[in-house]
Every structure is written in structure tokens, then in C-alpha cells.
């Protein structure tokens, strides 16, 4: 994932990083905590958060492994890693190296790296996790192989992935603008070479890589009466605007109508509910 912008269709603008930090992290926080516990994260483990974004999950993992554990967040996006490091050091100025650390002597650390080739030491982690990463990957099986390589062998290491299926968005009352946004997102993911429906397929990919996975699904429900959760669709549309228009998925006029409709649904549909289907898969290595 050296060319981050080509792979992650939402980009790394200030607006997108704010969406990751202040909306998406809140929407998925409870389910992520549940996933980590189900998959077997424990105090004292050394963990890796692949595609860590702005570091919210990495911080949650740090709390779960405790003072005797260690957590590393890795992402291809230097801007996201910069935010992570600023959080860690309370906004002090830091120098970021694009190379993996030779040793990790803090409870939590962040590095810029390639998901497919992290350059981290073989069998060096007890627990390896990714959230909402695989929908952006062109080569998901290659990423699973790297996760296996990094996991402690002898059936001790655990790898775990969690993603959402972009074929399974529901809204009630049904909102045509949200459906239009979903279709635009699906098409942009396809144009980037990734798979918007990968979440339902990850269990099989684990099997193809000689793993014995446990699979589970869940729904994330977003009440339109809950702020800022209700602004997730609006924020995503604003972030994707340039790519939607440059790829001529809809016209400028239709985009404005869609965005206005999403805002109306978010702000005025107090009985509205958006539901997204998530899949989580984990296995010992």
C-alpha cells in the first residue's frame, strides 16, 4: 500500500481524518470491543493494529492488554500516523520515520508501513487485528499471509479481521439518497480494484490460507436521533465528492440533491434508523 491515495478512496483530507476520529470510531466502538474480546485479546499480549487510521482502536487494544502488554499501530497514511503520534505525545512535535521500529519499548507505538510487507519480525505478535481495512485492499489473501507471518506460531498467535459489507445497508424509513451514496461508494471501491463485498468473503479466504476460522456477523444500528453518529453519511458524501464527480458517477446537480437529502434525513428524520452489516473472522495460527 505504498500509494495510499490510490488505494484508500476516502483519501487523507482533514475532513476525512476528522470523520475517522470523531464519527466512525464512535459508531463502531462497542462492536470493536466485543470483537477483540471474542477473538481472545488478553492482558500482556503484544498486538498489531493493521490499518490503524487515527489510532482509536490501537488505544482500545492498549487498554485491553494493560501495562504488561504492547500495541503497535501501522498505517500507510503518514497523515494518520502523524495524528496518532500527536495524540500519544499530547501534541508535542515528533519526527516520523517511514521505517518500522527495530524494537518497541513503549506500551503503544505507531509506524508507517506497507500492509503487504510490514518488514516487522516473523512471529513477533500475539494478536494481529484489522478493522475496515480489507474493503480497500486489492490483494486480501496477500494481507492474510502477512498477518500469518507476523503471528506467533505453534497455534499461539491470533489474527482477526473485521469489516462491513457494502451490499448490506438498510434504512428505515427508506432513504433514496442514502442508497445513491451506497452505490457511488461501491462503484468507487470497484474502480480502485478492491471489493466492496469482501466482508462476506473473508471467512473463505482464511480457509484458503490453511486457517481454522471462527466467523460471526453483527449489525451496527445508527439512530438518526444520535449525534454525531447520524452525520456519518453526510460526512462520507462530502469526503467522496471530488471522486464521485470526477468519475462522473452522478452529475453535479444530482450530487447536490443527494447531499441535501442526506442532511435532511440526518437532521429531521428523528425516527430514522440506518443499519449496516458487519462480519468478523478470527483464527489461531
Question: Where do the structural domains in the chain lie, given as residue ranges?
Answer: 4-284
Q: What percentage of the chain has pLDDT greater than the value 70?
A: 91
C-alpha 282 chain-centroid distance? 16
User: Looking at residue 101, what is its pLDDT?
Assistant: 41
C-alpha dist (Å) from residue 19 to 127, 211, 236: 27, 34, 8
Tell me the pLDDT tens digit for each residue of 204-217. 999 999 999 999 99
Mean residue pLDDT of the chain comes to: 89
Least confident of 38-52, 86-100, 128-142, 260-274: 86-100
Q: What is the pLDDT of residue 150?
A: 97
Residues in the chain, how many? 285
Q: What is the pLDDT of residue 110?
A: 96
What does the pLDDT read at residue 12? Answer: 65
Residues 6 or more apart whose Cβ sits within 8 Å of residue 196: 135, 165, 166, 167, 185, 186, 189, 190
Of 15, 12, 14, 17, nearest in space to 1 by CA: 12
Lowest mean pLDDT among 20-24, 115-119, 187-191, 201-205: 20-24
The predicted structure's pLDDT at residue 3: 46
> Checking DSSP bridges between strand 158-172 and strand 273-284, what pairing results, if any?
antiparallel
**pLDDT at site 123:** 95
Tens of pLDDT, residue by residue over 45-87, are 999 999 999 899 999 999 999 999 999 999 999 988 998 998 8
DSSP letters, 16-68, are HHHHIIIIIHHHHHHHHHHHHHHHT--TT-EEEEET-TTSHHHHHHHHHH-TT
Report the percentage of the chain scoring pLDDT > 90.
73
Res. 155: pLDDT tops 80: no
Nearest to 186 by CA among 201, 196, 177: 196
Q: Pull the grid cell for residue 217.
A: 456477523
Class (C level, CATH) for 4-284: alpha beta
Cα 128 to Cα 152: distance, rounded to the nearest angstrom: 10
Residues 6+ apart with CB under 8 A from 27: 220, 222, 229, 232
Any idea what DSSP says for residue 132?
S
Q: What is the mean predicted confidence (pLDDT) over 158-162?
A: 98
Give the other-Cβ count within 10 Å of 285's Cβ: 21
Strands annotated E in the chain = 46-50, 70-75, 108-112, 127-131, 158-172, 214-223, 273-284
What would the mean pLDDT of 280-284 be, rounded to a whole number? 98
**Among 59, 58, 54, 64, CA closest to 34:** 64
Supply the pLDDT for residue 4: 45
Under 8 Å between Cβ of 237 and 266:
no
* 3-state SS, one letter per residue, for 198-216: HHHHHHHHHHHCCCCCEEE
Q: Please answer whether residues 81 and 96 qualify as being in contact, where contact means their C-beta atoms are separated by less than 8 angstroms.
A: yes
**Residue 221: per-residue pLDDT:** 93
Terminal Cα distance for the chain, rounded: 24
Rounded average pLDDT over 161-184:
96
Partners of 163 in beta bridges: 279
Structure confidence by residue, pLDDT tens digits, 230-250: 889 999 999 999 999 999 999
pLDDT score for 270: 79
Amino acid at each position: 500500500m505504498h500509494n495510499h491515495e490510490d488505494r484508500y478512496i476516502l483519501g487523507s483530507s482533514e475532513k476525512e481524518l476528522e470523520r475517522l476520529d470523531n464519527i466512525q470510531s464512535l459508531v463502531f466502538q462497542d462492536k470493536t470491543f466485543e470483537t477483540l474480546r471474542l477473538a481472545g485479546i488478553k492482558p500482556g499480549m503484544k498486538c498489531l493494529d493493521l490499518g490503524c487510521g487515527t489510532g482509536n482502536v490501537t488505544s482500545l487494544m492498549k487498554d485491553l492488554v494493560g501495562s504488561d502488554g504492547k500495541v503497535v499501530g501501522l498505517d500507510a497514511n503518514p497523515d494518520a500516523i502523524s495524528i496518532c503520534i500527536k495524540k500519544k505525545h499530547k501534541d508535542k512535535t515528533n519526527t516520523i520515520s517511514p521505517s518500522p521500529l527495530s524494537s518497541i519499548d513503549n506500551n503503544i507505538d505507531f509506524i508507517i508501513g506497507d500492509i503487504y510487507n510490514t518488514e516487522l519480525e516473523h512471529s513477533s505478535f500475539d494478536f494481529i487485528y484489522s478493522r475496515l481495512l480489507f474493503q480497500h485492499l486489492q490483494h486480501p489473501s496477500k494481507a492474510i499471509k502477512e498477518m500469518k507471518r507476523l503471528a506467533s506460531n505453534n497455534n499461539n498467535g491470533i489474527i482477526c479481521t473485521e469489516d462491513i459489507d457494502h451490499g448490506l445497508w438498510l434504512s428505515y424509513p427508506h432513504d433514496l439518497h442514502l442508497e445513491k451514496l451506497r452505490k457511488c461508494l461501491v462503484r468507487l471501491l470497484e474502480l480502485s480494484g478492491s471489493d466492496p463485498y469482501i466482508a462476506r468473503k473473508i471467512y473463505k479466504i482464511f480457509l484458503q490460507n490453511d486457517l481454522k476460522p471462527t466467523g460471526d456477523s453483527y449489525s451496527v444500528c445508527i439512530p438518526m436521533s444520535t449525534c454525531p453518529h447520524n452525520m456519518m453519511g453526510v460526512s462520507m458524501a462530502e469526503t467522496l465528492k471530488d471522486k464521485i464527480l470526477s468519475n462522473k458517477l452522478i452529475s453535479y446537480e444530482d450530487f447536490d440533491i443527494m447531499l441535501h437529502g442526506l442532511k435532511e434525513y440526518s437532521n429531521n428524520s428523528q425516527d430514522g434508523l440506518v443499519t449496516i452489516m458487519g462480519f468478523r473472522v478470527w483464527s489461531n495460527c
